[in-house]
């Protein structure tokens, strides 16, 4: 089976106003692929990603990883959100933030240290281990959030507009960082963006969603050749 299989996934928010955010989305992702999901603001991209991550329970359909139905947030999955400011623990240093998921997985101390060291090196944060999030710029904070996600060496990395809140230069740096890390780490990545340029620059494949309720209107391979 494919690394990730999303079958007829639908979600309707209930409450004061019912709103169907995604309707019947089906696609497969092969291991190692970087798939960008692009669509207009408010179309249901975040909802789709949150359903895949089991952060919300879809109203219909199914998500499988390695052929197994996903129930509860799987251990080999990590998520990076746009809002890095709210996702980091403010009372923990950079090292503490990146080490946190490894502690919860009971990775032995020596191995933890080595992982943290290597991951911080990947994202260009060596030397900032002892700083706290409030001492860092937005771009650096988002590096910490990405490092924390990568520390567990997730099989599947979900990213929701990860570069939307940083300045242009930082964004270029982080995009290249992502491509570099991916080459070294063999992670399957699903990245949501509203930016077509970004999706074509980063993706091996681009899924284009319609306006809400989101459904896939195009599934495009990206092959820019050897530039």
The helix (H) or strand (E) run that includes residue 194 is: none
Residue 211 in contact with ligand ADP, rule: CB under 6 A: no
Contact residue for ligand ADP among 33, 47, 142, 188 (CB under 6 A)? 47
And the tokens for 151? 């520390």
Residues from 89 through 148 that contact ligand ADP (CB under 6 A): none
Residues 57, 80: Cα–Cα separation, whole Å:
19
Residue 41 in contact with ligand ADP, rule: CB under 6 A: yes
Nearest-approach distance from CB 184 to ligand ADP, in angstroms: 29
Residue 166 in contact with ligand ADP, rule: CB under 6 A: no
Nearest-approach distance from CB 10 to ligand ADP, in angstroms: 12
Residue 21 in contact with ligand ADP, rule: CB under 6 A: yes
The helix (H) or strand (E) run that includes residue 6 is: strand 4-13
Phi, psi of 104 (to 5 degrees): -65, -20
Closest CB to ligand ADP among 42 and 127? 42
Residue 23 in contact with ligand ADP, rule: CB under 6 A: no
Residue 64 in contact with ligand ADP, rule: CB under 6 A: no
Residue 203 in contact with ligand ADP, rule: CB under 6 A: no
Closest CB to ligand ADP among 99 and 160? 160
Q: What are the beta bridge partners of residue 38?
A: 193, 208
Residues 81, 163: Cα–Cα separation, whole Å:
9
Nearest-approach distance from CB 19 to ligand ADP, in angstroms: 4
Residues 44, 14: Cα–Cα separation, whole Å:
15
Q: What are the beta bridge partners of residue 156?
A: 77, 188
And the tokens for 68? 């197994």
Measured over the CA atoms of residue 188, residue 34, residue 40 and residue 65, the dihedral's sign is negative
Which residues of this chain interact with ligand ADP, rule CB under 6 A? Answer: 13, 15, 19, 21, 39, 41-47, 82, 161, 212
């Amino acid at each position: 089976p494919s690394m990730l299989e999303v079958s007829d996934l639908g979600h309707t928010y209930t409450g004061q106003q019912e709103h169907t955010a995604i309707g019947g989305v089906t696609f497969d992702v092969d291991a190692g692929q970087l798939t960008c999901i692009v669509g207009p603001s408010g179309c249901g991209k975040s909802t789709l990603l949150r359903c895949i991550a089991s952060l919300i329970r879809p109203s219909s359909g199914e998500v499988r990883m390695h052929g197994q139905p996903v129930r509860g947030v799987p251990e080999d999955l990590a998520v990076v959100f746009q809002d890095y400011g709210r996702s980091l623990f403010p009372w923990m240093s950079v090292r503490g933030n990146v080490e946190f998921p490894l502690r919860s997985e009971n990775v032995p101390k020596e191995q933890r240290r080595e992982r943290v060291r290597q991951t911080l090196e990947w994202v260009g944060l060596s030397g900032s281990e002892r700083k706290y999030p409030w001492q860092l710029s937005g771009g650096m904070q988002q590096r910490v959030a990405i490092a924390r996600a990568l520390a567990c060496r997730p099989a599947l990395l979900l990213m929701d507009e990860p570069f939307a809140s940083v300045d242009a230069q930082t964004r270029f740096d982080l995009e290249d960082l992502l491509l570099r890390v991916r080459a070294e780490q063999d992670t399957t990545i699903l990245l949501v963006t509203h930016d077509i340029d970004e999706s074509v620059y980063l993706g091996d494949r681009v899924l284009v969603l319609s306006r809400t309720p989101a459904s896939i209107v195009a599934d495009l391979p990206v092959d820019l050749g050897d530039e």
